[in-house]
Structure 1
Amino acid sequence: MPRTATLYRMDMPDHLCPFGLKSRWLLRRKGYAVDDHLLTNRRETDAFQRKHDVTTTPQTWIEGTRIGGYDDLRAHFGSPLKAEGETTYRPVIALFAVALALALAMLWRAGAPILSLELVARFAAIAMVLLGLQKLRDVESFSTMFLNYDLLARRQVGYGYVYPWAETGAGLLMLAGALTWLAAPVALVIGTIGAVSVIKAVYIDKRELKCACMGGGSDVPLGFVSLTENLMMAAMGVWMLTRLFT
């Protein structure tokens, strides 16, 4: 017989609680038969909260013990949600994985060799576009975080507003194979400045900062990933200049 869990969640005409649905889904995934109780109006919800001395729904009981809301349920099953402000590499890993998949798809569609320098070039260009897009979602927030460590932005605040457009534009031009004389120097300059800034902030000054590479409000730590991003841009700039003049 499956184990049984009791769940109380809101299911009102004007509000279906998403965390209640997630709690039910998680319990079923873990092999529980769910005794699902719906709170269909505000009066029922308020009465439930007063009775059990809780301030939020959903609420889950397992074997007579109250577990709590969705976050508590995840923690109970050993997969707690990331705490607010906790550093994580997940967003940038996902972005780089998508960039690589897009590069592979483009080469596959074109019938070009998969394992080649062209794969590296397209991956780097796509990653630049995607990283630039993250910054362009909120340029104001990005520029504020960028000022924490970028050496040029600290001297010229406007550089923080230009950077996302420069990174995105250079990546797009690289993908198009157009205006290499412009895209390559831009990538080389912003990549070099960025790499020097990260090395100074992290490896010389030993500061613990959040990286603006995924845009303002990012929880990605400043360090190896940021350095890799900037070195990749600088290397792309050098490689494209070499191809342009040879």
Structure 2
Amino acid sequence: MSKTAQLYRMVTDEHTCPYGIKSKYLLEKNGYEVEDHHLTTREQTDAFKAEHDVKTAPQTFIDGRRIGGHEALRAHFGKPLPDQNATSYRPVLAVFAVALGLALSLSWWSLGELLTVRAAEWFIAFSMAMLAMLKLQDVEKFSSMFLGYDLLAKRWVPYAYAYPYLEALAAILMAGRVLPWISIPVAAVIGTIGAVSVSYAVYVQKREIKCACVGGSANVPLGFVSLSENLAMMGMAGWMLVRPTLS
């Protein structure tokens, strides 16, 4: 016996509701035949909302019972959206995964092997570059979070604004081993200050605050991830100092 659902969603020449499309896909994915009702004008949409006493469209009905909008439909199928305020390491894992993929791909193409010293260097440099890019999307928001725990930034505010540019500069130069007399001290200094600041805030003061490592838009807890970022910069600087060339 086929399962049927009624979906009411806004579809006009100027706008197609993305949540309506997602709701239709979700219903079909769960084996429902969808009676897809388009609300083609603002007046028609407003009249539908007033009739059913709802504030948004789309709206889904199953067996004559209103399920609700897209979020309610996901919850109905046991797949609720994650809490927007919940902490998550997903942004950082995405950065590291892409950086690793790029590093291995480039190593394979240029050196004929996946696991090489250059692949490790590129992984760190690419990770630094992408983390810096995320910070640079909104330097103002990043600086506000950064000031919450960085020891130097608390005493000299301009450092909070300069940090993502310095990290990006070091990463770009390190990726090509260009101008090491700039990249090595920059990475060593900001990495050391960052590692001390994070260690003090998390392991001494026992504070639970957001990490600014991926900019100001994510809810990544301050701790191991940020410490790893800073230790990686320090390690890369030290490695390039003792191995100025790969020959």
* TM-score, shorter chain, exceeding 0.5: yes
Q: In the alignment, what sits opposite 2:19?
A: 19
1:68-93 deviation digits (Å, cap 9, x = unpaired): 11111122222222223221111111
Q: In the alignment, what sits opposite 2:163?
A: 163
Please say which of residues 143-152 and 75-84 is displaced more in the overlay: 75-84
Q: Is the 8 A contact 1:100 1:123 kept in 2?
A: yes
In structure 1, what is the Cα distance between the partners aligned to 2:112 and 2:140? 40
Q: In the alignment, what sits opposite 1:152?
A: 152
Whether 1:218 aligns to 2:201 is no
User: What RMSD in Å do the two structures reach over aligned CA positions?
Assistant: 1.5
Q: In the alignment, what sits opposite 1:57?
A: 57
Report % sequence identity: 56
The verdict on how the C-alpha distance between 1:2 and 1:233 changes in structure 2, with shifts beyond 3 A counting, is farther
3-state DSSP class of the match of 1:16?
Answer: coil
1:158-186 deviation digits (Å, cap 9, x = unpaired): 00111101111101101111111211111
- After the TM superposition, which residues 163-202 of structure 1 pair with which residues of structure 2 at under 5 Å, given as runs? 163-202=163-202
Please say which of residues 57-66 and 89-98 is displaced more in the overlay: 57-66
In structure 1, what is the Cα distance between the partners aligned to 2:198 and 2:62? 48
**Could you tell me which amino acid in structure 2 is paired with residue 97 of structure 1?**
A
Q: In the alignment, what sits opposite 1:83?
A: 83
In structure 2, what is the Cα distance between the partners aligned to 1:96 and 1:78? 30
3-state DSSP class of the match of 2:61?
Answer: strand
In structure 1, what is the Cα distance between the partners aligned to 2:193 and 2:245? 23
Structure 1 runs of 4+ with >3 Å offset: none
3-state DSSP class of the match of 1:12?
Answer: coil
In structure 2, what is the Cα distance between the partners aligned to 1:40 and 1:130? 42
How many Å apart are 1:245 and its aligned residue? 9.0
Structure 2: tracts of 5 or more residues without a match: none
Q: In the alignment, what sits opposite 2:234?
A: 234
Aligned length: 246
**Could you tell me which amino acid in structure 2 is paired with residue 136 of structure 1?**
L
In structure 2, what is the Cα distance between the partners aligned to 1:63 and 1:125? 55
Structure 1: tracts of 5 or more residues without a match: none
Q: Is the 8 A contact 1:181 1:244 kept in 2?
A: no
